[in-house]
């Protein structure tokens, strides 16, 4: 079976309680993977709580066949 590399672009809307807009942006970028990657300790240390993560776009950018 052929092997492919698929590049994706995903857009999320994240609801987060944080101390400032700048901190909300930085914490969202740092802790968001395919799910909330923050721990309870991270939330307590940095003073934030992710309230929701909604995938709003999931687009394929590129597909390349890979030699095995």
Helix (H) / strand (E) element for 40: namely helix 40-46
pLDDT at 31 over 70: yes
Query: For 26-40, b where at least 16 C-beta lie within 10 A, e where not — what string?
Result: ebbeebbeeebebee
- Average pLDDT over all residues of the chain: 83
51 vs 1, higher pLDDT: 51
Instruction: Output the pLDDT for position 45.
Output: 96
Average pLDDT over residues 6-23: 86
Q: How confident is the model at residue 34 (pLDDT cuts 50, 70, 90)?
A: low
Average pLDDT over residues 21-43: 85
What lies within 8 Å, CB to CB, of 26 at 6+ separation is none
């Amino acid at each position: 079976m052929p092997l492919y590399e698929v590049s994706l672009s995903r857009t999320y809307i994240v609801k987060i309680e944080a101390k400032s807009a700048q901190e909300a942006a930085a914490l969202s970028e740092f802790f968001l993977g395919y799910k909330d990657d923050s721990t309870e300790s991270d939330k307590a240390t940095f003073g934030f709580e992710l309230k929701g993560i909604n995938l709003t776009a999931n687009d394929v950018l590129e597909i390349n066949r890979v030699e095995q």
